A and B are shown apart, each in its own frame.
Chain A
C-alpha cells in the first residue's frame, strides 16, 4: 500500500492520559499535515511540516499538543493530559511541492479515532 498510513486506527484512553499517534506519508511527499475532525464537521487544520521543519501551527494546537517529524519522513502527534474535548478523528495528509502546477493533491490517511473517557 503506497497511501498515507496512520496508526492506530482507534484509541480509547482515560482522561488525563497521554496518547501518541503516528503518520507515515507517501514516501516522495515532502509536506505533511495534521487535521482534526469532530463529528459533523469538516477537518480543521492543526499543523504542517515541510520535510522536518514545522512551518505553521493552528491556535487549536494548545500546549498539550506536540507534533514532530524528526527525519522528514513519518510524523507523530502527541496529546498530553487528554481531555474529553480532545475526542475526535485525527487525520494526516501529505503532498509534494516539487511541481506546483502538478500533483498538488493532498492525500489523506484513514485517520485515528480518539475517544477520551
Chain B
C-alpha cells in the first residue's frame, strides 16, 4: 500500500513557467515532509522540507504548500529552468522516531528552453 501518493507522473513545463507537483498521505502520524530531487545515476538530494506546524515554506524558487486538514502537500517551482529537469520525490516520515522515509513514486520534470 502506497503511503504517499504523488502526481503527476510526468510534467513538461516551459522555461520560466511554474511547475507544480502534488502529494497526499493518509497516516496522520507523519510529521516531516521532505522533497527530494534526483538526477539520473545519482542518489536523491534533499531540496526542501516542511513540518505540519506551518502551511508554507519557501526557499528561493522552491515552495512547499502544506494542507494538514486535507493531508496534502505540494511543491511549486517558480521560474522553472532547464537545469531543474530531474525526478522529484515527495516523502514523509514520523520525525519523532527519525525513522524510515516513505516515498512517492516520483515525478519526472522536463523544462523546455
Give A residues with C-beta under 8 Å from B.
4, 31, 33, 35, 40-45, 48, 56, 58, 91, 93, 95, 97, 100, 104-111
Contact = CB atoms under 8 A, between A and B. Distances in A.
Contact of B103 (A40, A44, A58, A95): A44
A45 B102 contact: yes
Given A42-B6, A106-B46, 11 more contacts: A33-B100, A35-B101, A40-B106, A41-B105, A42-B104, A42-B106, A43-B89, A45-B102, A100-B96, A104-B95, A105-B34
A40 B105 contact: yes
A45 to B, nearest CB: 4
**Which applies to chain B's interface (DSSP): helix, strand, loop or mixed?**
mixed
Contact of B45 (A40, A56, A108): A108
Contacts, number: 59
Nearest to B32: A104
Nearest to A111: B43
Ranked nearest first, the 8 interchain pairs of A and B with the lowest CB-CB distance are A42-B103, A108-B43, A45-B100, A110-B43, A42-B89, A108-B44, A105-B46, A97-B98
Contact of B43 (A31, A41, A48, A91): A91
B60 interface: no
Contacts of B89: 42-43
Nearest to B89: A42
Contacts of B20: none
B49 interface: yes
Interface of B: 6, 32, 34, 36, 41-46, 49, 89, 91, 95-96, 98-106
Contacts of B46: 105-107
A43 B98 contact: no
Nearest to A43: B103
Nearest to A50: B98
